[in-house]
Amino acid sequence: MAEVEVRDIRKSFGGADAVDGVSLLCRDGEYLVLLGPSGCGKTTLLRMIAGLEQPTGGDILIGGKSVKGLPPRARKIAMVFQSYALYPHKKVGQNISFPLEAQGMSKEERDERVRWAADLIGIGHLLERKPRQLSGGERQRVALARALVRDPQVFLLDEPLSNLDAKLRASARLELKQFQQRVGVSTIYVTHDQVEAMGLGDRIAVLNKGRLQQVGTPDEIYHQPANAFVATFVGSPPMNLMQRDGRLVGFRPENVRVVKRSEHGDGASAFPCRVIRIENLGSDRYVYVSVKDDAGESKLIAKLAISEVIGVQADDEADLLVEKRFLRFFDRDTGESTAA
């Protein structure tokens, strides 16, 4: 395993910049997630690291050495595509041994390695089947086994869970994380799903429009967003933002209490609002309110546990109470975070 670093890397297609000067380091053994909406450049970045696209500027280093001119086969990386790209005309066992054949390994050694990888991932019983006979989850595991078998320096994963049923995804996420921790290979993982990112990443790199917005642990990303984009992209429902006193004020829905007007809390900030609607969603209660701010009116959300009693109803005039420590401030024009 090794460090992966990109330095000021750029990629433009025609006139448009898909990746615009990103610098990032994935440490040895780290699980780094590239998170962002579609079109933000995360997949392009991943493909450049793999060698499937050539950067128009900047450098890529694996294990401290520049790999910029090298074709994918020389980079000692393993990649799993969103579609898993299993070779349809080969059996599972042959799929997994394919990278080893490319290395010229002897048949005995290949078989031994394939066994090892398949057992590690738990698909030893599938080796004689063809990909079309497998379920989505099984195919994903075969792709992982194939990635593992060549003992790569880096794993590159491009949204490998998005083709799975929603129900399967949570358990697949857990398995994936455990697998990576056991094997200990540096991993770069692309996703647009912030729940996945939060759950899997040692660190998360948030990208938008080809630029790096923030790199940090899930905690840092969530609680100390570097700009309004990160603040609203991560978190479900997204962070509430309103304009006040010439700047943006933000707070997360779960940090809000909704009380009747004129009841005041303990040093919490109070924002007058009108309740629009209350949704009971099983374990949570969402309260939709409307607040007057610099920009006119903003619709905000409060997320409360169902067990919390609330004393307001739709159309009530109420107050949103937020403890000062949960407030975040952003520049109104640039979106960058500013001090209180």
Q: Closer CB to another protein, residue 75 or residue 169? A: 75
What is the smallest separation between the CB atom of 131 and another protein, expressed in angstroms? 11
Task: Let me know: does 220 contact 228? Beta carbons within 8 Å.
Answer: no
Instruction: Provide the minimum distance between the beta carbon of 203 and another protein in the complex, in angstroms, as a whole number.
Output: 20
**Least distance from another protein to the Cβ atom of residue 247, Å:** 45
Distance between CA atoms of residues 179 and 200, nearest Å: 11
Contact positions toward another protein, by CB under 8 A? 50-52, 69-79, 81-83, 85, 87-89, 98-99, 101-106, 109, 112-113, 116-117, 120, 146, 148-151, 156, 182-184
Closest CB to another protein among residues 155, 330: 155
**Please, what is the minimum distance in Å from the beta carbon of residue 173 to another protein?**
20
Pick 24 or 185: Cβ nearer another protein: 185
d(CA 198, CA 212): 17
Q: Which is nearer to another protein, 84 or 271 (CB)?
A: 84
CB nearer to another protein: pick between 113 and 303: 113
> Nearest distance from residue 178's CB to another protein, in Å?
11
Q: What is the secondary structure of 290-337 as a DSSP string? A: EEEETTEEEEEEEEEETTS-----TT-EEEEEEEGGG-EEEETTT-BE
Non-local CB neighbours of 189 within 8 Å, separated by 6+ positions: 31, 32, 33, 34, 155, 157, 200, 201
Q: What is the per-residue DSSP string for 63-98?
A: TTEE-TT--GGGTTEEEE-TT----TTS-HHHHHHH
Minimum separation from the CB atom of position 69 to another protein (A): 7
- C-beta closer to another protein: residue 70 or 195: 70
Measured CA distances, 109 to 114, 208, 213, 255, 305 (Å): 9, 44, 45, 57, 56
